[in-house]
Every structure is written in C-alpha cells, then in structure tokens.
Amino acid sequence: MTTRRQFLIGCSAAIAAMAGGRVGNLVFADPRAAAAANDNMLVMVFLRGGCDGLSLVSPYDNPIYVAKRGDASKDGIALSGALPIAPQNPTFDSSLGLHPNAAPLKDLYDQGHLAIVHACGLDNDTRSHFDAMDYIERGTPDNKNMSSGWLARHLQCTHPDGLLPSLAASPAAPVSLLGEPNAAAVTDPGSYSLSGPWHYTANPDTRYKDAMLKTLGTFYSGGDLVQQAGARTVETIKALAGTAAYTPTTTYPEGSFGDSLQTVAQMIKLDLGLRIATVDFGGWDHHESEGVNDTWGPFYRLTATLAQGLSAFYNDLPAYQGKLTVVVMSEFGRRLGKNLSNGTDHGHGNVMLVLGGQVNGGKVYGTWPGLQDENLDQREDLRITTDFRRVLSEVVVRQLGNGKLGSVFPGITPQIYSAANRLGIVQGSDLPIDYSSALNPLFLPIARR
Amino acid sequence: MAVSRRGFLASAATLGAAIPAASLFDPIPVAGAAPQLAGTAPPLAQIALNRMGFGPRKGDVAAFNALGASDSARLAAYVEQQLNPAAIDDSACDARLAAARLKIQYDANTDPDPAKSYPARNEAAPLGTLSQTIAELWPRARGVAPYQPWSERVRPFEEVRVATWLRATYSRRQLNELLVDFWHNHFNVNAYADATIAATFPLYDRIMRANCLGNFRAMLEEVAKSVAMQYYLDNVSNKAGGGEGGNENYARELFELHTLGSDNYLKFYDDRGSVGTITYNGQTYVRGYIDRDVYEAARCLSGWTLNNGHWEHPNPDDGTFLFYNDWHDNALKIVLGVNFPYNQGINDGKQVFDLLCAHPGTARHICGKLCRRLIGDEPPGSVVEAAVATWMNNIAAPDQIKRVVRTILLSDAFATTWGKKVKRPFELVVSYLRATGAELPIDELLPNPNDGDYWGSLLWLYGAAGHRLFEWPTPTGFPDVASYWANTNGMLWRWNLPYLITQPWGGNVALDLRAQTDADVPGGSCIQIVDSWIGKLCGFSITPAVRTALIDFLAQKALGGDPTQPPRPMNGEPNNSQIISERIAATVQLLAMSPDFQVR
C-alpha cells in the first residue's frame, strides 16, 4: 500500500505541507492516538428520508401493527409475504420478518454476516429530517453547532496514513465527514482527472504533459476551505491517475446507490488505505402511497435496491470481508399508524443493520418495547430502546480500535456505551474508554439555542 | 535526502505557518470560516456585480461606474435600478429566449388503442411552454389519454431550466434572476419528484418571478396553492377524518423551512404552557413551535388540494386550487397558542399563514438566509437585525421583500466584504460565460438524429458538479455555505467545466479565446495577455503568486520562454496557431480554476 506520506514526498513540498497542514498539527497534538488503530474499514450507508424499518424488519403478525398499518388485503400497507427470521431475542412478542425483496439480506443474516438492531436510533424528540440527520452525523444529539462530523473526529483520533483514508462516494461529503480536510468526494475513480487542452494535459510529451496540473498545484496552498479542497483535489487527481474503469465480480443494482457502492469497492481494491467510506441512499420519505407490497411501490423498489446492493457489495469483496463493517441507518423510523394517503409520517425508533466479516450476525439485538400505546413514543411511534451511539461505539472501539469515544461522540456517558452494556454485535477487543475529549476542551457544546 | 511528510509538517508547524489553528472541535464560525483573500478588496463595481448577480459582462463595470460620482452614489443608483427590473430594457435577453432551441426526440408508439398511440418526434423546438396557462399545461400533468411520452410531459420543466441558464447569462435584470434563484431554493421542489410538477413547472417559476421582490405572505399562499408544492409535499392528499391523521408533510416543512425555521423548533412539548414567549417591538409572540403546532397546522390545511380528478371530487379536472371542505377538519384547533374556532373552513389555513408570517422568528430566519446569499456565509448580526426590522415594519407592504433587500444591499457589510462567499457551480460557470462573452448553445437538427443535442450534453456534464438546478431532492434547497461546496468532487468539476462545455460533445458553448486575445491585446506579451484576462475575469488584483504562475505557464518559462514576449512554441513544433491557441485556452482555464475566481 502506498502511504500518504510516501505519496506526498512525491508532491511538491509546498502542497504537502499545506494540504496536510491541519492534519499535521492535530497529529502532533495527540501523540498517543492510533495506538490501537488498525486497518479495518467502516462503510456508513445512510438511508435519507426516514426508512420505514417496520416494513423492512417487520413485526408482520403483530395485531397492533396490522391494525394500525391496515391489512394488505384491504388496501392497507401492513407487510405481506414477510420472510420470517429467527431473532434469537426473547423480547419480541410477535414474529419478525424481512421484506420479501430483502431476500439477499436474509441470506446474509442466515449466514451470520448480518446483524440487526431494532427499536434503535436518535433518542431526541425531533421529527425533522434535517435536525435528526444533523444530530446523528455530527454525533451530538441536540447540538447542531458542533463544527465537525463524528467520522471526521474518529479520523482525527486515528489519523490513518493511507493515501485516501476517507471517501464520500457522492458529489459532496456528508455532515459526518464535515471538518475532515482529507475526505475525498469521488463519484467515479476511473474518470477523476483534469480536463483541458490536450497538449497541456494528456500529451505524452514529457515537457508539456500535465503542465496545467503542475501550475494548478501552486494555486492552492492556504488554510481556508476552498484552499484545502483545491489542494486535496490535486492530490486526488494524482493518486487516481491511470485508474481503469471498474469491473465488479458481482451484479450491482442500477442507479446511484449501486454506483456509489461500486466506487467504494473499487477504492478498497485499489489499496489506497481506505478506512472510512460513506454512501448515501435517498428517497425513503414515503408520506404518500408508500407501496410496501406493490411492485410499483416506492418502498418495495427501494428495498430491492438496498438488499441487492448490500449483497453485491459484500460479495464483491471476499478478500476484504474480515476487515470490513457496513452499518446501515436512517434518521428516524416512521409512524406506526399509516396516514390517510396510505403513507406514513415521521416517526421515531428504527432498525440499524450491521454487516461484516467480524459481525456476530444472525441475531436481532436490542430490546423490543412493544407496540401498545403506553409503550410507544408520544403514544404514536416505535420507542427507542437503543441509542444509535451504542451501536456505532461498539464498531468504533472493537472494530476500528479507537477507544476515544468522548472525542467521537462528545457528551457520551458509560450509560450509553461501556464494555458492560455493549450489545456484542461485533467481534474485537474492548479497550479502555476515554469519555473525555482529550484533544481539545473546545468541544463543549456552545449554549443551546 | 527525502523529506518525510511528518518531518516537513513538524517544521512547518514550528515555523508558525499561516494555517489557522482551527480544530475539528471549534464551534462552527471558526471551522466553517469563509475564505479570505489576500490583497486589496476589489472595486465596489465588482462586489456589486458579483453579489447582486452572476458577475460582470463586458461593459457592466463601466456602466456601473458611470452611475455616480462616488462609490456610495453609484451603488445606491445601481441598487435602485436593479430593484425595479421592469424598468430595465431586457429585449436582448428576450431575443435569446425567442431564438433558443431545445431538442425533443422520441420514437413513435403504436398501440391497438389509438389513444395510446403517438407519432415520432425529432425537433429542435423553441421554448413554447414558458408562458402557458394551467389549462394548457394540465393535460401533460395528468398523463391520461391521449398519451404522451415522458419527454413530452416533462418538457415544460426542461424549458424553464434552459430559460434559467439563458436569463442568468444574458439578462440585465441580474438581481431579479439571483432572487428568483433564492426563492426557488427557499421553496424548493424537486421538479422530477412527480411528472405533475415537471409538467406545470413554468407556473411555479412564475410565482417566484412575480413575488421575488413582493410580499412574503402573498407569496407563501401562492406557493401553498401551487401544483408543484401541493404534489411535492403531498398536501394535495391531506384529508382529515376516519381516526387516521392527515398528511403532515407540508405542514412540517412550512414551519421548519418556509417560515419559522428549525431555530424556532422547540422539539416536542405536549405542554403548551412551557413554550414561553418573546417580545419584538413591544409585541408578544410565542417563543417557537412544537410538534403539536405542526399536527394542528396539518389539520388546518386539510382540504387544501387541487382539482385533479380525484374520485371524491372528479370535476373539474383542471389543476386549479380547490378547498375541499369534505376533507377539512373543522373542529377546534390551537396553533402557536391561538385558539381556532369551529368551522373556519379555508380560513384555518390562511390564519396559520398569517401567524407564521407575522412572527419575528420567520423574519429572522429568512433575512438571515438573504444576508447569507447576498453578503457571506456568516453575515454580521447587525445587518440581519436591520433587515428583520425592515421586514417587521412592512409586514403587509406589497414591496416588503424589495425593502428588505434594499436594506441589506445598502448596508456597510455588503460594500465592505469580499471573498466570503464561494460561488456555487452554477454561479461559477455563468460568471465564466459572462466574463468571456461565451455563447450558450442552440440545439440543431442534424443528419444524425442523435446529434445536435447540445443542451442535453451541457446539463448532463454540469450535473456532475452536484448542482443540478431544480433537482435538489429534499425540501431544504441547495446548501448555501462553503463547507458544503468546497470538496474534491465539486472542485474537479469547477476546474473542468469551463473547458468541457466548449467542446462540441460537451455543450458546444461558443467561445474563441484566441480570437478575443488577438483582438484585445494584438501581439501582446505573455504578461499583457494574462493581465488582460485577469481584468476580464476578475477585475481586481489577484493573488500575486497566481498571476506569476499564469504568466510563466503561458510563456512556458521553465522551458526557456520569455514572459515579456508573445507566447511561442517551445517543443520544436512548427509555429502554427494551434499550439498557441491551446496554450491561451489553457491559461484562461487556469485563471478560472484559481482560488480568486471561486469566490465573490
């Protein structure tokens, strides 16, 4: 693997110094970091819009659920044809099944690669997409003023030295990577190159070739956001020079979700030191005609894409599965009762999926709160019994080797995550947990509005 | 000896390199700091033309400077001129719109049912739907017999998008165009969320155009009744009754995005007594809104729908607004602490709008966004508060927004700041087109039926930059801060687009940089040529090191070229024009790639 350090030696000294300048400061600010870090990888898949977890991993024969969603045979949207799974979890008071289009996920579940956490999420009363995503991705519930994302802070703790340690497979980086100056947003590695007049870009003549890129490299050397992004772009162009179009070994679904997953798979196989990748999958806000059971239905079709995509991605990377964890989450679940447009409005608790070679799969984790009114959040929505940070923390500590949870999730307490109350979703070692933010006392949230 | 990266960085840090010591843990104003440029601030004409529009065209700076004897007089005159767009002669832009051609192409469909059959079409057609009425557009929206192919149904939206590019590039009503874009983003709908929205998009665009300098309360109600918003946020099917809730999608975004904003969202309190109050100008208001307000507002807006052929109200089926009392919840409600009596009918919704529009939280939310658009990512609080005061003092004025915009543009903060706003990809490309005098394409019907689709190529390529107009999927609208746009994907496309869109396969934008150079600085040296282009693209002293690098590139100084001479071949090539034309083109592209051209 080419390390970022080796690569940068080949760049001009000015670019190297400035592009990595902020990281460099942070690196030296905390020499203890990275002691336990390893080369495992996390892929965060965010289902934007509020995925209906009750239709994805469904209590399909729970009479309250069926009554509130409406029987599928009577124009309702309760799930029919569920694929039953064994939750290995005594708190469930009804059967549990996956959506029929999630058959590839059932295979992964049955093979022990996929774990599910139910009644899980952001335990905050917001029903706003944008607030909820912000809180989750900044890693600070109830504080939108945190200047960085939780994945950015994890990278700050571990500062992996690969060439491309973090990747957003999207036109722009999500909030979870906010503040990570080295995060690359790349939609297609094979075409990531400078376009300009032929003589000064692709000309094989060594005197003119890349002349534009060389000049451009001198433009971006400052510390502000545009300067950093420009310097990082020049680095990325150089790193990906000559990358061929990707030929996957499995069949990905058509569309941006499959494309993004392929980009991540390609970057993993390019061996550029990738540690953290993010993938966005939008379109889950189904207030109207959710179409859980209909071939035309938006939920029906998105679920097929989700399951096929995750399966294709995971099986495209057999040599990397032992180092790979994929976490799938959404900003919130949807209301237990359907609305009059045969859709569902914003709700609360939801599922998270954890897929990987080190995952203790084939089990549904968490505590099922029940669907009786008194057990619901606001008497309407699935209650949250597992804070999303408990799930992510376990991956951060036991798979990514970072015990500095106080930096990754400022404000986290042993009640939210500790070796004693972790769910046991992934293998790996427990580490001493640092609940404080050793890096910088400024993390403290500025006054809540 | 090779320098290790860490060794190098350690010494750089020791030397106190000019890198902000920001960490990921600082509050937003530090880590999200907008870019600052070294050197002197540009002339006021550049500030005004870049931030009240999409950058200067040839002659704009001189026209601005002729408006008065002092900077403040010139700015005041220009602001007044731009705030009265109807008085600006825009016939040249109108001619562009009339001359525009956008290809439409599809195969014939033959079906045993004649209503499902249609003939093939391949035409470079004018923009014919921009001023069509709902009666004319509605058949495309419905998608019922006689059937039309998808490209025909969404054609009105594609025409609006092309018109938006043309107007941004050619219109002299620049502030108007900028504000239309602002309000489209504020009341964002994804035109492709539903064919109904795409088919009627000219109507939605006209709401923004008619109200962009008008009264916010009036605009809000027009938006609420529009086909686009009704379908995008589902209020079209918001019906009460039967023990199930109505559809609260629109009501939630009405509070969170369109009016009060999430800063005034107090999260869930069932207990209204704990909401509290604030005062403004001696008036008392509730401190913010709670989920219960959203639910109750959704009830108030139940029955606000469209005449869309729904089986419960099948006639007329013409796309006009319908208040359908059978779907309306006429029971008691409480919104923002105000009791709504029984049987108010359509006035429930109107009263919700009145309450929201009168609240200072709405003023602060929207004035903050306007200042962010017109000044910088973090505008001074003083200018926001001044705008809020104008807003609140003119709640019912028909030119409320115009007055607010004037307050912002005549503030000290507007005239004295520069470089705190990253151009979004659209602003970047359009400012390049304007500065260089490039001509947007006119689609053609060519012997190969797949050729001549220049707009399609341009918009497809451009979309990769992540700023596909009117297609942002969520109701927030495109982000308006540098922390979103400054990233490796966007930067690559910012750098490549000026070149790509001028290629025959990339948009066929007409631009002859060599001819312009020869005309502007005949026989000029590399220094003169670069300075000429800096004048056209930037109009101020750019970062000195960038200027030097551009001159050295044009001269190929490293290969022995002389910057004080015209550029010449350095590789032993024949002295033909192509190698120099390409180098001039590359030099101008590099200038457009520079940090100085990325901000405004």
| Cα distance between residue A273 and residue A184, in whole Å | 13
| Cα distance between residue A118 and residue A125, in whole Å | 18
Judging contacts by C-beta atoms under 8 Å, the chain A residues touching residue B597 are none
Closest CA to A261 of A309, A327, A189: A309
| Cα distance between residue A205 and residue A195, in whole Å | 17
The letter for the amino acid at A103 is A
In A, minimum Cα distance to B233 occurs at A287
Judging contacts by C-beta atoms under 8 Å, the chain B residues touching residue A48 are 473-474
Q: What are phi and psi of B491, to 5 degrees?
A: -65, -45
| Cα distance between residue A362 and residue A34, in whole Å | 31
| % of chain B surpassing 90 pLDDT | 78
CA distances from A96 to A61, A81, A108, B303, B460 (A): 8, 12, 16, 38, 44
Judging contacts by C-beta atoms under 8 Å, the chain B residues touching residue A207 are 559, 570-571
Q: Is the pLDDT of residue B24 over 70?
A: no
**How big is the CA angle at A336 (ends A330 and A337), to the nearest 5 degrees?**
135
CB B579 within 8 A of CB B522: no
Q: Is the pLDDT of residue B359 over 50?
A: yes
Chain A nearest C-alpha distance from B381 (Å): 16
Q: Does A318 touch chain B (CB under 8 A)?
A: no
Q: What are phi and psi of A350, to 5 degrees?
A: -155, 180
Q: If you write DSSP's letter for every residue of B22-49 in order, what string do you get?
A: --TTSBHHHHTPPP--SSPPPPHHHHHH
| Cα distance between residue A438 and residue B111, in whole Å | 71
Q: How high is the pLDDT of residue A445?
A: 34
Q: What is the DSSP letter of B459?
A: H
- Which residues of B, range 240-299, sit inside 8 Å of A by Cβ? 240-242, 244-249, 252, 256, 262-263, 265, 267-268, 270, 291, 294
Place of tokens 């035109």: B191
Give the mean model confidence (pLDDT) for residues B554-572. Answer: 91
CB A308 within 8 A of CB A252: yes
* Contact residues for A382 (Cβ-Cβ < 8 A; gap 6+): A53, A54, A119, A333, A336, A347, A348, A349, A350, A369, A371, A376
How many Cβ atoms from other residues are within 10 Å of residue A90's Cβ? 8
DSSP strand pairing (A166-168 vs A276-282): parallel
User: pLDDT 10s digit of each residue in chain A, 449 long?
Assistant: 555 555 544 443 333 333 332 222 222 233 334 444 689 999 999 999 999 999 999 999 999 999 999 999 888 999 999 999 999 999 999 999 999 999 999 999 999 999 999 999 999 888 888 889 989 999 988 776 677 899 999 998 998 888 889 999 988 889 899 878 778 889 888 888 999 998 899 888 778 889 999 999 999 988 888 999 999 999 999 988 888 889 999 999 999 999 999 999 999 999 889 999 999 999 999 998 999 999 999 999 999 999 999 999 999 999 999 999 999 999 999 999 998 889 999 999 999 999 999 999 999 999 999 999 999 998 999 999 999 999 999 999 999 999 999 999 998 999 999 999 999 999 999 999 999 875 443 333 332 22
Contact check, Cβ <8 Å, A225/B483: yes
Q: What's the start-to-end Cα distance of chain B, in Å?
A: 42
Q: Is the pLDDT of residue B313 over 90?
A: yes
Q: How high is the pLDDT of residue A221?
A: 87
Is residue A278 left, alpha or beta, with left meaning phi > 0 and alpha meaning psi from -120 to 50?
beta
Q: Is the pLDDT of residue B307 over 50?
A: yes
* Contact residues for B496 (Cβ-Cβ < 8 A; gap 6+): A194, A195, A196
Closest CA to B467 of B164, B250, B34: B164
Largest CA distance in chain A: 75
Q: If you write DSSP's letter for every residue of B231-273 in order, what string do you get?
A: HHT-GGG---BTTB----HHHHHIIIIISS-GGGB----S-GG
CB A103 within 8 A of CB A316: no
The letter for the amino acid at A179 is G
CA atoms within a 13 Å half-sphere pointing along the CA-CB vector of A24: 26
Q: How high is the pLDDT of residue A148?
A: 83
Q: Does A281 touch chain B (CB under 8 A)?
A: no
Place of tokens 């059937």: B147
Q: What is the DSSP letter of A46?
A: E
- The interface predicted TM-score (ipTM) is 0.88
Nearest to B25 among A13, A18, A148 (CB): A148
- Encoded tokens for B186: 């504020």
Judging contacts by C-beta atoms under 8 Å, the chain A residues touching residue B483 are 178, 225
The SS3 assignment for B280 reads strand
In B, minimum Cα distance to A338 occurs at B244
CB B139 within 8 A of CB B195: no
- Encoded tokens for B367: 């004035």
CB B194 within 8 A of CB B161: no
B114-143 per-position pLDDT tens digit: 888 899 999 999 999 999 999 999 999 987
Rounded (10°) angle between helices B400-409 and B71-83: 160
**How big is the CA angle at A242 (ends A241 and A244), to the nearest 5 degrees?**
130
| Cα distance between residue B322 and residue B317, in whole Å | 10
| Cα distance between residue B31 and residue B22, in whole Å | 6
- Encoded tokens for A132: 């909820």
Nearest to A148 among B24, B265, B549 (CB): B24
Mean pLDDT of chain B: 90
| Cα distance between residue B8 and residue A298, in whole Å | 53
**How big is the CA angle at B60 (ends B59 and B62), to the nearest 5 degrees?**
70
| Cα distance between residue B269 and residue B257, in whole Å | 20
The SS3 assignment for B313 reads coil
Closest CA to B528 of B579, B575, B562: B562
